[in-house]
Amino acid sequence: MGCEGYLGVMISSLDRAWRARFGGVLLVALAPLIAGAQQMPDTLWLVPGEFVLAGDTMPALRWLPSADWDTVNVSFHVAESAPQELVVVNGDTVDHAFDLGVEGWSPVVLPPGTPVGLTLPALPAGSYAYGSDSERGHVLGAAGLVISGLNDLPHFHWNLGDWEPSRLAEVSAGGTVDPEAAYVPRQFTVNDRIFPNTLTDPFGHVQIGVGTSCYITIANQGSMDHVLHFHGFHVEVLQATRHPERLGWTKDTMPFLMGEVAVVRLDAFQPGMYPVHNHNLIAVTNAGLYPGGMITHLNIAP
């Protein structure tokens, strides 16, 4: 299906989804929120648990600001170019290493149960993916974002993930990923949420006023490549770690290779509700049911 046809289907489906969810209450009744910047926690906990997406119950690992289980990895803001002291506690049963993917900075080993103090390096303005350097940590979804500077505008983030329940179960039980096996994820998330729950995410659901601007950090921490299509706007590419040639481009469709961390700027010149969706049809479903998965909205208040 071409994107125009796709768009029509999507808008009417979105409309039905909204009505189902909000009982016909106009979404404009929701007060526009400024993305509340989460500050770095004093202690970061790697916590094992379970998450449920559209009927699939899956084992999980999450980076959290306390030992209490939550399904959403914490992403946080730090001051530009200032080292940060952080204590990390590995609540899993095996070793992990805290990884920031920054050249010249080595992952810090985290034995289970022992608090480890580490210093985040001075990070130039931009966004960085942090996680565990192990396959177990990656597959079970221990992956968050550190956003340095870029706080002169509201700054939203979309941490993208894809989930194949059988792979998670295998790895959780101590197995490894079979590189020959087909990868068939059933769930696709933005900040560990599936649509329409993406619309109740204060850090991911873009809600700003017409005539204003925001940053959006977009990180692909899944196990496949993704492509997002913005309706209503073209965004300016400020960072794209796997597509350096795209810096400064203004685009409505952007690819995100596995591991890519990007920052875009959105100038909201027109009011309205605009979907942003994955261009891969399977990635806009929840366990095969459309619409779902990687869809969120730009809600631009008049």
Stretch that binds Cu ion, among 3-11, 24-32, 77-85, 179-187 (CB under 5 A): 3-11
CA dihedral 46, 50, 51, 57 (to 10 degrees): 150
Within 13 A of 8's CA, how many CA atoms are on the CB side? Answer: 4
- Range in contact with Cu ion (rule: CB under 5 A) among 150-158, 169-177, 193-201, 229-237: 229-237
Closest distance to Cu ion from the beta carbon of 7 (Å): 5
11 binds Cu ion (CB under 5 A): no
Q: Which of 33, 54, 89, 229 lies at the binding interface for Cu ion (CB under 5 A)? A: 229
Q: Which is nearer to Cu ion, 170 or 252 (CB)?
A: 252
Q: Evaluate whether 283 touches 162 at the Cβ level (below 8 Å).
A: yes
Residue 3 binds Cu ion, judged by CB under 5 A: yes
Interface region with Cu ion, contact rule CB under 5 A, candidates 29-37, 45-53, 227-235, 256-264: 227-235
Nearer to Cu ion by C-beta: 140 or 266? Answer: 266
CB of 2 to Cu ion, least distance (A): 10
CB 188 within 8 A of CB 278: yes
Rule CB under 5 A: say whether 234 interacts with Cu ion: no
- Please report how close the Cβ of residue 3 comes to Cu ion at its closest, in angstroms: 5
- Residues at the interface with Cu ion (CB under 5 A): 3, 229
